[in-house]
Structure 1
Amino acid sequence: MSTMAQFFSNNYRHFNAASLVDASKAYVDHLKSGKKMMITLAGAMSTAELGVSLAEMIRQDKVQIISCTGANLEEDIMNLIAYNHYKRIPNYRDLSPEEEEELLAQGFNRVTDTCIPEETAFRKLQKYLFEEWSNAAKAGERLFPHEFLYRILRREDFAKEFETDAKNSWMMAACEKNLPIIVPGWEDSTTANIFASYCLTGELEPSLVKNGIEYMMFLAKWYPENCGDSGIGFFQIGGGIAGDFPICVVPMLNQDMEDDVPLWSYFCQISDSTTSYGSYSGAVPNEKITWGKLSSKTPRFIIESDATIVAPLVFHYVLEN
């Protein structure tokens, strides 16, 4: 018995702990049956350094496609190039509004207990992004947001900017595998705001970066090519658009395109959202059956806990089994 399996068996027997074990075992069974898995990232998982475990999942082919917010896409790389300049605020709950303003004046943007440095993270990445955007514009190319970042990660001069071990960057691992990434709502991210500023000045055109509809069109081709007869698994961290956007490709193909593709064949969500039938993040998995996303036979799990604690445990179990 592996180390994680023994730990789970001895300690995680009931309630959310048991759900974690059941979901982890089903993840392993899903992969062993030859099916593929999508992982979706909401929240600030990159700033939480989920890449420490997710990068190895990618390297060992435990995930075949990722959907994430624009923030998670960029923040993994910013962590890579500005690691030594981040500031941790253990007592973040006690900060006054005046102390928050002081952090801003010092060039720090806070995400819970972690402050991202403006100059060494955002502005350093901006320099390389503008070069790649400009080069693509001159060449008449249009790319997805993640493809521009892949180009940057493959540059030798960019590698000189690294301040921490690239093995802990899930974006670097994804780049090395050329893993497909879906980034719905990329416009709601710092790099997209920067891109918009160049469009406003007339230096770039909005059409340079492929949009969300084109991401759905890509996914609509990728899913039938990779789902086989049994469908693809869906491991959702958090809620929001990172999960809601890609899961809709199946009902879209079956209902709008009138194709016949299998439903998602595994579903797990890690969420600390209050159960609610009015929100996506707080909806129980059964609700997805009525939308043509899951079936009554799909293995379904919800782990009501903090993803920064739970996701690495699941990943390590999968990696050991």
Structure 2
Amino acid sequence: MTNSKGSISQFMEHYYLHFNAAAVVDAAKGYEKQLSKGSKMLVSLAGAMSTAELGKIFAEIIRQDKVQIISCTGANLEEDIMNLVAHSHYKRIPEYRDLTPQQEWDLLEKGLNRVTDTCIPEEEAFRRLQQHIVKIWKDAEAKGERYFPHEFMYKMLLSGVLEEYYEIDLKDSWMYAAAEKNLPMVVPGWEDSTMGNIFASYVIKGELKASTMKSGIEYMAFLADWYSDNSNNGIGFFQIGGGIAGDFPICVVPMLYQDLDRTDTPFWSYFCQISDSTTSYGSYSGAVPNEKITWGKLGIDTPKFIIESDATIVAPLIFAYLLNM
């Protein structure tokens, strides 16, 4: 135990000694070791981590340069900003397991879209952003410019048009922290998010061109270049949840050396996944890290950790450890 560690980290080192608890500490120490030797780290966000308010600690991870690139779902991209501008209108429903279909319908009629125990207010969250992001999309198209989904979000945040709506401390928004640093990001499958749906509706109505938004293929091409340019000291992979946020970026390594014949491409230098998925149903999200060796993503010697637990509990603990809390 090091003297520089705070009470949370010391608690973890003293009590988290076995099973998933020990894996949490081991993964945190492995992450820390990667950074200390000059490796970069990709963090992938699946699930509803932004609605779970991970930004309260993840934003500081970004500010302290403990993550160099993010892969996230379109939902996580937008829901952090929704929480920023409409937090007081969210409704928590701790008894969500007991809701009847009629009660769920009643929530819909009130404009409340439920994510487990938390309802996102459609009018205050989605629509409050829509008027501003659509203008930014249209302005870019009028100038013949094209950007990635996260770049449009960065533009909106940094322009100041949302300032009148802020309902939480700006330091608790991980998207704002990322925008300030212009942090590299990939957002695979952005089209299935609320803002992706809204953009598609404008394309269908003929008010925007699909080409104004850079595509998933372009994200992969960007990631290939970024990986090649930044892998001299290794790049680690810290995966929160499963799904496309993790599956998309981890494939860049076998693509580089199999499809582009860049045979000197290094494997990911660290891998950790926090997941409650199981392998027994053929779930790739729950696959043990060694399976990724057979796909050319991880090497035999890559430090590998899997924590079978709730990411909303585990991720803040690991981030607290990295921040010496």
- Report the alpha carbon displacement of residue 170 of structure 1 after superposing the two structures with TM: 0.5
How far the C-alpha of 1:190 sits from its partner, in A, is 0.5
Alignment of 1:131-170 (within 5 A): 131-170=135-174
Question: In 1, distance between residues paired with 2:22 and 2:294?
Answer: 26
Identity, in percent, stands at 68
* Aligned partner (choices 245, 264, 269) of residue 248 of structure 2: 245
What amino acid is the match of 1:227? S
**Normalization by structure 1: what TM-score?**
0.98
> What's 1:106 paired with?
110
Aligned to 2:71: 67
Aligned partner of 1:234 in structure 2 is: 237
The offset of 1:277, in angstroms, is 6.8
Corresponding residue of 1:269: 273
Distance apart, 1:159 and its partner CA: 1.4
Q: Which whole-Å deviations, capped at 9, do the CAs of 1:80-116 have from their partners, x for residues lacking one?
A: 0001100000111111100000000000000000000
Contact 2:68 2:184 in 1 (8 A): yes
Query: Does the CA-based 8 Å contact 1:77-1:171 persist in structure 2?
Result: yes
Query: How many matched pairs?
Result: 320
Structure 1 residue runs without a partner (length 5+): none
Maintained 8 Å contact 1:26/1:299? yes
**C-alpha distance in 2, partners of 1:79/1:33?**
35
Aligned-pair CA distance for 1:9: 2.0
Distance 2:102 2:289 in 1: 42
Gaps of 5+ in 2: none
The separation in 2 between residues aligned to 1:224 and 1:103, in whole angstroms, is 47
Per the alignment, residue 191 of structure 2 pairs with 187
SS of the counterpart of 2:66? coil
1:95 to 89, 96, 99: 99
Q: CA deviation at 1:8?
A: 1.4
CA distance in structure 2 between the aligned counterparts of 1:63 and 1:35, rounded to whole angstroms: 10
Q: Which amino acid aligns with 2:236?
A: G
1:219-257 residue CA offsets vs partner (Å, 9 max, x unmatched): 0100011111x4200000000100000000011001100
1:113 and 1:125 map into 2 onto residues whose CA distance is 23
Q: CA RMSD in A?
A: 1.0
Matched, 1:34 2:38: yes
> Contact 2:9/2:320 (CA < 8 Å) preserved in 1?
no
Q: Provide runs of 4+ in structure 1 moved above 6 Å.
A: none
Give 1:44's aligned residue.
48
